[in-house]
Structure 1
């Protein structure tokens, strides 16, 4: 019923996602510990950028962000029985092979931000196949979007999700545990122009890499 009018019921759908994320994690014994570099004012919209090594990263960010937000992710997530529910309603699927799809996806993201909703975008664009994982180069899209909307970026470091659940648990299985998530200080984009997008992208990449490497993935 909520799916018939996702814009109207956005908050309720987002709340349902948080409940599902909490219950499913608790049931399998996976918990999340968040450490903040500085307090976050969640009444404001942000672009949340995190490293991506495990499907558990999605739940980590669902439980992290108490305000309404949308994920932007690969179009294949529409076919997943869990993520598909939300990518057909409040989240934004993206086909990177189609310029039209990319344009429409970032237009929707722009609209969301201007309505005061945050966006979660994994700037690597995928989970790598190497084990142990490493940090890939970032795509430009999230950083151009942040500058165009003058919205701050929150860099997130998800340290050890891959040690608990990696590659759909086909290779190493899964186990209960605590996932450590580090929330870094928001990076203000006000006053930046699109000519600064590449520098912003590289700065965020280096910041996440520094903290992730320092902690050794825990």
Structure 2
């Protein structure tokens, strides 16, 4: 019952939150700080409403100078609320072109400066990647990417797509892994205190001097580090939840 009430309240909140975010992006369209503002408007009230305690361990992310490519794990649509409170300044995300046509959210996502890629059109996708590389180099803007390309639904980190790593190598910028504990398995919205989530950034992985020949090893290194980190975070969350 509590879970249903929380989800209903979230749906109700989403409308005024979207209207506020729409105002923000209309007043300063394509500003590279829009994602951070909009993410917090969406995320912080919903995380409180859900009864979730979020621990943010982001020292390495905060200490890394722009630009860089953030690679994060993607569990569900609720990542909008969780990762929305983690997005740093001067950072935009990459998403599917189809997102642009979602009522309210799609227009906000576009005007927030997000890079929209048509995955069904290889030529168009490649051109978008090249433009993103130029944006990172010339505007000191960082990029947030869910490198799995789709939600993993809490069933473990999926294999990575190449795009994030191609961009990082082409621009000569580091990869900063950002890992969230597996909240899809641990949270319980039917409890007043629904659980703990830990989000941790890992030390940046440099790409200076790398070529595309180095990309498979870079992808494997990033994937292995994130997989190990998520396992550690899940163990800590289990301890926190059992002590509650």
Q: How many angstroms apart in 2 are the aligned matches of 1:19 and 1:50?
A: 20
Q: Which runs of 5+ in 1 are unaligned?
A: 166-171
* Offset of residue 5 of structure 1: 6.2
* Offset of residue 56 of structure 1: 2.5
1:106 lines up with 2:124 in the alignment: no
As a proportion of its length, which structure holds more helix? 2
Q: How many angstroms apart in 2 are the aligned matches of 1:47 and 1:82?
A: 27
* Offset of residue 95 of structure 1: 2.4
Q: How many angstroms apart in 2 are the aligned matches of 1:136 and 1:108?
A: 27
Larger Rg: 2
1:168 aligned partner? none
* Offset of residue 126 of structure 1: 0.1
2:220 aligned partner? 202
Mark the CA change 1:29 to 1:105 in structure 2 (over 3 Å): closer, same or farther: farther
Relative to the length of structure 1, the TM-score reads 0.81
2:120 aligned partner? 97
* Offset of residue 145 of structure 1: 0.7
Kindly report structure 1 stretches of 4+ aligned residues shifted beyond 4 Å.
Answer: 172-175
Question: For structure 1, which segment, 188-197 or 105-114, has the greater mean C-alpha deviation from structure 2 after superposition?
Answer: 105-114
1:116 lines up with 2:172 in the alignment: no
Q: 2:204 aligns with which of 162, 186, 203?
A: 186
Mark the CA change 1:76 to 1:34 in structure 2 (over 3 Å): closer, same or farther: same
Relative to the length of structure 2, the TM-score reads 0.73
1:64 aligned partner? 86
Alignment root-mean-square deviation, CA: 2.8
Q: 2:47 aligns with which of 22, 25, 31?
A: 25
Q: Which runs of 5+ in 2 are unaligned?
A: 1-22, 238-244
User: SS in structure 2 opposite 1:64?
Assistant: coil
Task: Write the mapping of 1:29-40 to structure 2, written as runs, cut at 5 A.
Answer: 29-36=51-58, 38=60, 40=62
